[in-house]
Structure 1
Amino acid sequence: MGERYLRSVRLLAECYQAFERHAAANIRCRTGLTPAQFDIIATLGNTPGMSFKELGEKTLITKGTLTGVVDRLEASGLVVRTIQQEDRRSTIVRLTDAGEKEFERVFTPHIAHCKQPFANYSEADFDTLEYELGKLHAHLTNNKT
């Protein structure tokens, strides 16, 4: 195998970066949100809210950045924080009514935009892609060093 895998890893990274650029450009131009703000709104949409820990696990946002993004969304009236009565250390972040409307406004069009690069994929193409990525993911998560 030698260094053959490096070509594949590079291609995988380039695909990820290109997809990120494709998605982020749409978010900034068409929604007026930052990618991090969109990520939080999309993650909280159609949920009763979640803790900061859950939100951090389900988004691609680092813990340090998460608080600031939630602060800005809260200042914009799109999210609200609620302290849990059962565990006052736990804060739930949820969309406000305005946040729900924003989710409805931006989510479906963004998904349609992100779907475009896959327009010519067949079910077999998706099966192959998911199989190979799943296999790589399993190797990466099972072989923690």
Structure 2
Amino acid sequence: MKELVRAYQSFSAYSEAHIRQFDLTPAQFDVIATLGNTNGMSMGEIGERTLITKGTLTGVIDRLIQKQLVVREIPSDNRRNVIVQLTPSGQQVFEQVFPAHIAHLKGQFEKLDPSELELLKVLLSRLRQAFQN
């Protein structure tokens, strides 16, 4: 258990350091990555896909609005539903940062043998299944 926590912490720190080079927090990156190549999503959908809590998500969206990377839209047919969409600038950030970040992480995973990666995939899948109902 301890090794899993340490691996997660190492991965998170490595990932976060790279994301911060783009003047984004990890939560902001998660939202941008989630909204990329979509027509937008409700706050609830973003929360489910990113696992960011509702209170935290509101602040993240507010800061992304200040950076002019997302907008909130209220559909005329359902005024209770708020849709968050990337702005053209937000889409540009997604197109620049997302592939760069994937490539950055991929470089670390390539240090493992393909057989080790396959074993890791199988074991992580089994671990996930152990915690599902």
| Both proteins in one fold, TM over 0.5 | yes
Q: Which of the numbers 15, 18, 32 marks the counterpart of 2:7?
A: 15
- Whose Rg is larger? 1
In the alignment, structure 1 residue 65 sits paired with structure 2 residue 40: no
Task: Provide Cα deviations, 1:82-140, integer angstroms capped at 9, x if missing partner.
Answer: 11233221111010001101111211111111122211334432221111111111110
In the alignment, structure 1 residue 115 sits paired with structure 2 residue 106: yes
Q: Which of the numbers 114, 123, 129 marks the counterpart of 1:132?
A: 123
Q: Which of the numbers 72, 83, 93 marks the counterpart of 1:102?
A: 93
Identify unmatched segments of 5+ residues in structure 2.
none
Residue identity in the other structure for 1:93: V
Counterpart of 2:132 in 1: which secondary structure? helix
> Which structure 2 residues correspond to residues 69-108 of structure 1 after superposition, within 5 A?
69-108=60-99
Identity %: 50
Q: Distance in 1 between matches of 2:126 and 2:75?
A: 39
Q: Distance in 1 between matches of 2:91 and 2:60?
A: 17
**Count of matched residue positions in the alignment of Structure 1 and Structure 2:** 133
Counterpart of 1:81 in 2: which secondary structure? strand
Task: Provide Cα deviations, 1:38-96, integer angstroms capped at 9, x if missing partner.
Answer: 11111111111111011001114221110011011112211011112332211110100
After TM superposition, the structure 1 stretch with the greater mean CA deviation from structure 2, 109-118 or 92-101, is 109-118
Q: Distance in 1 between matches of 2:78 and 2:8?
A: 39
User: Following TM superposition, where does structure 1 have runs of at least 4 consecutive aligned residues deviating by more than 4 angstroms?
Assistant: none
> Which structure 2 residues correspond to residues 37-56 of structure 1 after superposition, within 5 A?
37-56=28-47
